[in-house]
Amino acid sequence: MTTVADLTLSGRTSVMGIVNVTEDSFSDGGKWLATDDAIAHAHELVKLGADIIDVGAESTRPGATRVPAEVDREPGFNRFVDSGATRVPAEVEAERIRPVIRTLHEDGIRTSIDTMRAATAQAAAEEGVDLINDVSGGLADEDMYRVMAETQLPVCLMHWRADAFVNASGAADHGGDVVKDVHQVLAELVENALAAGVAKEQITLDPGLGFAKTAADNWALLNALPEFIAGEFPILVGASRKRFLREIRADRGLEHSPVDADPATAAVTALSAQAGAWCVRVHEVAVSRDAVDVVARWNHG
């Protein structure tokens, strides 16, 4: 059994570099769709300072397309998935991630699989993945908790309050207190995972910045980050290039593309590391690795 401790660094926050093997991710869709390009990009991110590479093959951005668009409701998906949605078919998702994860594993690079599908998580495990990262927290596929337990891999459970896990647009009703809601839902996800046989030592949590949340919700969660970090489970922060960070520049009348949010992302990385976050998930690795290294050296005098 592999635990989160096996993926934890001594003295600093880990940096997770993102490799989207997709055609439509909000930041870099299509750039790394070819297997060789994805592998080369992963190696470049490691050279820049990534400790683990998060490989995903299905976009959850607002307005994301789902191609080929031929699948409605699949066996194994529970009521949380919109029956009218079309998604990247499971076999396509698996075909995209298998060679990337296999090669990176052979090259000695740690990887995580960003998926809501149990079958894709299983395929990734067969290729040597180190962590299962499910943005639905295990709710989108009724078999996911079982696969998490059977693979005996560390898992990351994210908060995303949704009736349909299709894309991250809109703002859910968090009962007037998003921090309280996220605490409660994450506790429920943990209970689900433990009941399925996932070990406590294998669980990390993600408050789900940008997923069905307003800008105010996201800032409230970041302000409350020390509360989450003080809890029982390691915390992953995924703020990279999110809309609420881009709005900082937009409010000043400046260019505000996803890439323009990298400085703000680095600021969030530094503050998250100072608060004690276990890991930050980022697109632009170099500046965020600099940020966590600055925090580590600052704290160690």
| Catalytic residue numbers, as ranges | 242, 281
Task: Compute the distance between CA of residue 87 and CA of residue 292 in angstroms, rounded to an integer.
Answer: 36
176's CB contacts (< 8 A; 6+ apart) are: none
Task: Compute the distance between CA of residue 275 and CA of residue 287 in angstroms, rounded to an integer.
Answer: 18
Task: Compute the distance between CA of residue 48 and CA of residue 31 in angstroms, rounded to an integer.
Answer: 18
Instruction: Estimate the share of the chain in helix, then strand, then coil, as percent rounded to the nearest 5.
Output: 45, 10, 45
H helices of 107-205, in order, are 118-126, 144-151, 178-196
The residues pairing with 100 across neighbouring beta strands, listed in sequence order, are none
Q: How does DSSP classify residue 3?
A: -
β-bridge pairing 236-237 and 203-206: unpaired
Token digits of residue 279: 């890991």
Say if CB 156 and CB 198 are below 8 A apart: no
* Bond prior to 99 in cis (omega within 30° of 0): no
Beta strand residue intervals within the chain, DSSP E: 14-20, 52-56, 111-114, 131-134, 155-158, 203-206, 236-237, 279-282
Token digits of residue 185: 């839902």
Q: How does DSSP classify residue 78?
A: -
